[in-house]
Structure 1
Amino acid sequence: MTSLPALSAGRPAVRAALLLAAVVAAAPVLAGCAPQDAATSGAATASGSAGSCEKGALATRKAGTLTIGTDKPAYEPWFSGDDPSNGKGYEAAVAYAVADRLGYPKEKVSWVVSPFNKAFAPGAKDFDLDINQVSVSEERRQAVDFSPGYYQVRQTVVALKGSRFASARSLADLRGAKLGAQVGTTSLAAVTDQIKPSVQPAVFDSNDLAKSALKNGQIDALVLDLPTAFYVTGAEVPDAQVVGQLEGTGADPEEFGLVLDKGSALTGCVGRAVEALRADGTLAALEKQWLSDAVAAPVLK
């Protein structure tokens, strides 16, 4: 770096002029010595600038590839055949539609397994975005970024046919039930915050375990999102039925959102892609195609 010239003890005006000239002359050199901004280095420079939404050139984990995470097993009707890469099921179809908007065709999309609870936990992620029926909440926003919602959620109660709770028509009718839900889900929050049963609810690590408990009579009813509830009763536990759905709470409806790492360079781009898919009717068409069985169910008040 160039040093500034020494100044003699001359008149103040002369000294000031010399100082100004020295600073102007040294400015380009000083600028050249400035350290590189860390925010523009690393992955961002490897596959597109952090603020750019240039199609197919985003700041992804792997240049030229969009890595998407979801849980395993990948449940119907959100996925099909436990294979997200086939593009079948509502969330698989949404994921590929978002990827296409971002400039990544199907062959440029890679899937990784990301357990539900880890997707929105603090810490580094191994995906660019995650799609796994994760409801947007302010608490979760402390650890991760979310896209705008791609699906409005309705929580639903499922019980075995012929049980005394299968005919429930109000929340009060469910107060004495042994209810079950997956850990860390808004389904479990609906049990504790809305139904408020007098019996301690059962908490399961996965919906598969919860469904087995319902089949075996270990719980009286299970709380799930509405599309999953219709699939469970139609294909997995045919002896069960949808009892009814719960009313939404608060001013904002519960929505599923795509999960991204906190402060991800992709958050804005992904958000704009989701909004575009809503505006052009793609999300509505995919919901009709893959979730058409999720018709209206009685509302339990």
Structure 2
Amino acid sequence: MSLRKPSAVLPVAALALAAVLSGCAPQDAKTDGAAAGASGTTGAAASCAPGALATRTAGKLTVGTDKPAYDPWFSEDKPENGKGFESAVAYAVAGKLGYPADKVGWVVAPFGKATAPGAKDFDFDINQVSISDERKQAVDFSSGYYDVRQAVIALKGSKAAGAKSIADLKGAKLGAQVGTTSLDTITDTIKPSTQPSVYDSNDLAKAALKNGQVEALVVDLPTAFYITGAEVPEAQVVGQFAAAPKGEQFGLVLDKGSKLTPCVSQAVDALRADGTLAKLEQQWLSDAVSAPVLK
């Protein structure tokens, strides 16, 4: 995850399970849904008969995500309400797999645990988890359902808030959530002169920003707009980073070697192809339209 996982207040609208979406305004160039590479999809022999998959509970689909479940990816910390981009995507994928909303259940899956080796208590997890070769050693990924850009938010009036380039951020006290591509962006792209502060959750990172313990945080772009618009109004979006050379995408997380991976990837690919992912992104993430690119 890019800091969730963690922008202007995003609209909250009723979920239309038939709607779904792909790559909207924040990204200048889109990558194909399978570009980041789903794992476990080759030699797909698993039957994808609607509603008859080898799920943890017969006839039901169990979806995992972290708690709290943050806006704009979820709404009201209730993944089951179908509101927010990732909740809507989860139900759209479930529908493609043959599971109506009343056959979908949710479990709490902390970000670090969801991507670690070991058996899972969900059929798939949705939690702003970026697809990476390193993570593929421990878990399977579906095709990508969202094309990611990272962004910087800083306290208004701070030196970091006036940054116009990556070089302007090198002397800033920066922070991000542990184990995220947001933290990777700090260490690999910004390369600050002081070690960044690392937090176990977005809530702790946001509290540190509010308290002035850090000048700026790196998070994904939609989260940046939500945080500054609804949670930390004393902060502002400084800018976004150029898309990663290979493209960064969020993918659904599955148990390593899961028989469900090919079916879940097929569902995501179908939602991208029919425009559902793009519609959902427009519905739930449309406020994150632009931010200057830091170079």
1:115 and 2:110 correspond: yes
Q: Which of the residues 252, 256, 268 maps onto 1:258?
A: 252
Report deviation, 1:249.
2.7
Q: Secondary structure of 2:144's match?
A: coil
1:199 and 2:194 correspond: yes
Cα distance in 1 for residues equivalent to 2:159 and 2:169: 10
Report deviation, 1:120.
1.0
1:249 and 2:253 correspond: no
Q: Identity, % of aligned pairs?
A: 75
Report matched runs for 1:86-101 at 5 Å.
86-101=81-96
Q: Secondary structure of 2:46's match?
A: coil
Q: Secondary structure of 2:160's match?
A: coil
Structure 2 counterpart of 1:190, one-letter code: T
Report deviation, 1:214.
0.4
Q: 1:284 is matched with which residue?
A: 278
Contiguous gaps of at least 5 residues in structure 2: 1-44
Report deviation, 1:123.
0.3
Q: 1:42 is matched with which residue?
A: none
Structure 2 counterpart of 1:89, one-letter code: G
Q: 1:131 is matched with which residue?
A: 126
Report matched runs for 1:184-195 at 5 Å.
184-195=179-190
Cα distance in 1 for residues equivalent to 2:94 and 2:261: 13
Q: 1:14 is matched with which residue?
A: none
Q: Secondary structure of 2:222's match?
A: helix
Q: 1:269 is matched with which residue?
A: 263
| TM-score of the aligned structures, taking structure 1 as reference length | 0.83
Cα distance in 1 for residues equivalent to 2:244 and 2:76: 33
1:216 and 2:211 correspond: yes
Cα distance in 1 for residues equivalent to 2:103 and 2:194: 49
Report matched runs for 1:1-301 at 5 Å.
51-250=46-245, 252-301=246-295
CA RMSD of aligned residues (A): 1.0
Report deviation, 1:248.
2.3
Report deviation, 1:213.
0.4
Structure 2 counterpart of 1:58, one-letter code: L
| TM-score of the aligned structures, taking structure 2 as reference length | 0.84
- What per-residue deviation string (whole Å, max 9, x for no partner) do you get for residues 25-73 of structure 1? xxxxxxxxxxxxxxxxxxxxxxxxx711000000000000000000000
Cα distance in 1 for residues equivalent to 2:54 and 2:259: 6
Cα distance in 2 for residues equivalent to 1:288 and 1:247: 21
Report deviation, 1:167.
1.1
Cα distance in 1 for residues equivalent to 2:244 and 2:203: 27
Contiguous gaps of at least 5 residues in structure 1: 1-49
Structure 2 counterpart of 1:67, one-letter code: T
Cα distance in 2 for residues equivalent to 1:298 and 1:177: 18
Cα distance in 1 for residues equivalent to 2:279 and 2:243: 23
- What per-residue deviation string (whole Å, max 9, x for no partner) do you get for residues 153-189 of structure 1? 1000000111111110001000000000000000000
Cα distance in 2 for residues equivalent to 1:294 and 1:254: 17
Q: Would you tell me which structure has more helix in proportion to its own residues?
A: 1
